[in-house]
Amino acid sequence: MEPLTMISTALASIKGAGDITKSIRDLKSATDNIELKEYLVSLREALVNANEKIIEVREALQDKDEKIKELEERLKREEELDFNDRYGLYETTKGGKKLRYCTKCHTEGHYVPVQERPYSFICRNCNQDYPKPDEECPQFESKTDYNILDY
Ligand SMILES: [Zn+2]
């Protein structure tokens, strides 16, 4: 039996016990007995308390189910990712297209696609730059070729 079904069954049992308590309270013989009336009040309080606690357990269980679902989705996504050593980026192929994700943001649990530029990839979230080692940027080739006064 599924945990949420067990909880529903427990809540139905508590409701049943509450109904029985009410039936006893409504009996003519019970209304004449002060001691029995006090026991019935205590019983009703105990049932209300048990009902509240079970509802809290149900909510906690639903939160955990959501967390598990979230982690399963993350795990599935992680399995689809490969680490590209050349760029230092995580990547996957979707619909024949390469998607690359920022490694820095990935360590914080976020999947942020990087933007491709001619000589590097950049993360628009954290501004981390990932140079393409096989494509040298002209400004780094030889600084003597550029004279700052020319600009
Ligand atoms: Zn980033």
3-state secondary structure the chain: CCHHHHHHHHHHHHHHHHHHHHHHHHCHHHHCCHHHHHHHHHHHHHHHHHHHHHHHHHHHHHHHHHHHHHHHHHHHHHHHCEEECCCCEEEEEECCEEEEECHHHHHCCCCCECEECCCEEECCCCCCEEECCCCCCHHHHCHHHCCHHHC
For the chain, the domain total comes to: 2
Ligand 1 centroid to Cα of residue 90, in Å, is 11
Length of the chain measured in residues: 151
Output the pLDDT for position 138. 60
Domain membership of residue 122 (yes or no) is yes
Do 10 and 52 fall into the same domain? Answer: yes
**Can you tell me which residue has the tokens 């360590």?**
107
CA of 124 to the centre of ligand 1 (A): 7
12 and 54 fall within a common domain: yes
User: Does the pLDDT value for residue 101 go beyond 80?
Assistant: yes
Choose between 80 and 134: higher pLDDT: 80
> What is the 78 CA–ligand 1 centroid distance (Å)?
17
Based on the fold, state whether residues 99 and 38 are members of the same structural domain. no
What spacing in Å lies between the alpha carbon of 101 and ligand 1's midpoint? 8
Residue type, 13: S
Reading the block at residue 78, the tokens are 């992680």
Say if residue 56's pLDDT is above 90: yes
Within this chain, do residues 54 and 95 fall inside the same structural domain, yes or no? no
- Give 7-29 pLDDT, tens digit per residue: 999 999 999 999 999 999 999 88
Report yes or no on 58 lying in a domain: yes
Residues 10 and 37 in one domain: yes
Distance 10 CA to ligand 1 centre (A): 48
Q: pLDDT value at position 137?
A: 58
- 147 domain residue, yes or no: no
Dist. CA 53 → ligand 1 center (Å): 43
**What average pLDDT does the structure give for the chain?**
89
pLDDT value for 145: 47
Q: Are residues 12 and 72 part of one domain? A: yes
**51 and 35 belong to one structural domain:** yes
Question: How many Å lie between the centroid of ligand 1 and the Cα of residue 1?
Answer: 44
Position 147 pLDDT exceeds 90: no
**92 and 120: one domain?**
yes
Parent domain of 91: 81-131
Q: How far is the CA of 116 from the centre of ligand 1 (A)?
A: 13
